[in-house]
Amino acid sequence: MATNLSIPGNTSHIPSAFQIHNPNFLDIIGQAPTLELLLQDNDVPFAHEASVFIPSTDELYLTSNRFTDPKTNQSTIQISKVNLTAHPLTHEVINTAIPMANGAVNHNDGILFCAQGNTTHPSGLYQMSIQPPHESTLLLSTFYSRELNSPNDVVIHSDNSIWFTDPIYAYMQGFRPKPQLPNQVYRFDPATKNIRVVADGLGRPNGIAFSPDEKIVYITDTSYDTGKEKVPTNPSTIYAFDLVTINNEPFLVNRRVFAMADTGAPDGVKVDMDGNVYAGCGDGVSVWSAGGVLLGKILVKDGVANFSFGRDGQMFIMNENKLLTARLNRKVKGGLLGI
């Protein structure tokens, strides 16, 4: 376990997976943090994105990374479901029409998925039922007359508006047509069907989260990874924006660097109810204070794209072929569900 001279007391009992950079991290991880393997599948990178926890059923929904389906010899992405009360745990592949699913969030008693699309099916936002047979409906696929690129991650505001990122990763990776839009972030109001660009000028907008009071929006820029190569001089950065109302409409203002990842790029981003910011990075999950101070890391070999919070300080961590769980201080509550 890496520590520095500012860490008080004896922390030798803390597992080495929990790297402490600031004494406040001890309050987050508690006296007995653990990091354990829940499920492993060496054939399919089933645990890549989404990681949506359903409290009512104790189920976790995941999207895989791209892989070649041996049955069709085509590049594909699976959505799978893990029943967290089952023994042993398995991931059940869900039969759904969502093309190349990626990030997702709890929404309307179901799940709202970002779909990157492909050459024959549009990218966009799809609502999926958590009840078998898990039917899905395309909610949005265009910015008015232009097709979206490949929506990556999504979050819901308390006013029911949908905020999502739309980088050009699918085109760069060869399974979407030439982009018709810049790399941008959008707000969609499902009640009025109004869709607006709320942020541009980002290399690869990726993860997105609100602060607990919804006054700040955090957006990760992962253009360190262009989709074809790693470029260390490109952003691997979390930006913060203030969310304000102007002429009765929401705007993002005062863009600033919140934090930069030192290993890889910050992908999925979440907050806890105390305002601390968590992001999946190239060496695990990094945790910053609301002021942007690196508090510590949960180290995971080969890194983490995304993760989610369960109940009472439990985290579900995506590590491609492995699903891990971290147990933090029971008082830690994820900002999305508040449990």
**9 pLDDT above the threshold of 70:** no
Could you give the CA distance from residue 156 to residue 188 in angstroms, rounded to a whole number?
A: 10
Give per-residue pLDDT as tens, 32-78.
Answer: 999 999 999 999 999 999 999 999 999 999 999 999 988 888 899 99
pTM: 0.96
62-70 own/partner pairs: CB under 8 Å, 24+ apart = 62/91, 62/318, 62/323, 63/101, 63/102, 63/103, 63/104, 63/113, 65/305, 65/320, 66/100, 66/173, 66/175
pLDDT at 3: 44
73-92 burial by CB neighbour count: b if 16+ within 10 A, else e?
eeebbbbbbbebeeeeeebe
164: Cα separation from own chain's centroid = 11
> Phi and psi at residue 24, in whole multiples of 5°?
-65, -20
Q: What domains sit in the chain, N to C, each tagged with a CATH number?
A: 18-327 (2.120.10.30)
Per-residue pLDDT, averaged over 10-27, amounts to 94
pLDDT at 1: 46
Give per-residue pLDDT as tens, 192-247.
Answer: 999 999 999 999 999 999 999 999 999 999 999 999 999 999 999 999 999 999 99
- Closest by alpha carbon to 152, among 165, 171, 137? 165
The total number of residues written for the chain in this structure:
339
